[in-house]
Structure 1
């Protein structure tokens, strides 16, 4: 059974693939992901990953895709953008996103964002798994409140996806909060509601401007 830092990298890589938009490549990878997961030591991480993998293997891809859009694209309650929870659409958000990119560059990690922002959780997990496990784990821990808030939201809307967040949180120091109220205390608040312009920012940071207003992405 895999334990320690190597097992964390496995968890982060498996979760990274599973939290992306599901496609044929994911379906083809499911046996490999399941085999890697089964080599992990028994515990919350393995159980959380298996919960999603078993679910993904049991339903048609079209249904998995429909669920993904419903869960992550049509609602702000399960945002996979880590700094959304801490900085919302504030002026500071552009600076934070730039800081993510700087950390990737410093590691030599060649980031292909596929049109996503640099704080998109699957991308951060890939960074932690493949590029810089130490800094990647530190980055995830810095945004632990964001991970836990997303995890609790997913417990209500999609337990299989909640399992992926539970697995990621299990690789980080300390216990997960017992309830959502404790997570909000950890976060010291929800996402800021300030809505000053991001007109100074790199245009590539703008697709999420307006995210969090209403239920859809603007």
Structure 2
């Protein structure tokens, strides 16, 4: 099992909203809804480029902006991180079934370490962070890396994602993909099953995505 983090397991996109819009305001502008949607699921470098371009300030230093966002989002994660509906029970069921599990996120290691206080370190055999791979989502590298570290062929993995960027990454890697949109709807994509919430997902649903019979209880 390969789980995305932001917007999939934890309801953190609202916290990113706060940080991104505060930074835009500090720069004397307002982040458009279109740019905010485009940022979802991208690496920090890409996110800052989108934000700067949206504000008409492409000359700004992306590293300085990223450092500001990192500091603010760390504060917000420590006080306001919440599970997405159905995420915690599904993760517990996956672990109880002994299924190898990875967290595959575009967020950096420092932020993920804070999130782990909510997610539980023992819930993942492998954690792949956005600042620890050669190429970020939508490149397939994050998911290919996770499967390799788990020792499981990518074609035998199910990835759960909430964003177009993440779905594209998992598809390109060759995983079976379940899309559960968080803040914005997703267009239908061939080969991707889409559900409204993780509350509708159980081990039978996951097995079906791989064309396997339901697990014996």
Scaled by the length of structure 1, the TM-score of the pair is: 0.32
Higher strand fraction: Structure 1 or Structure 2? 2
Structure in which a larger fraction of residues adopt helix: 1
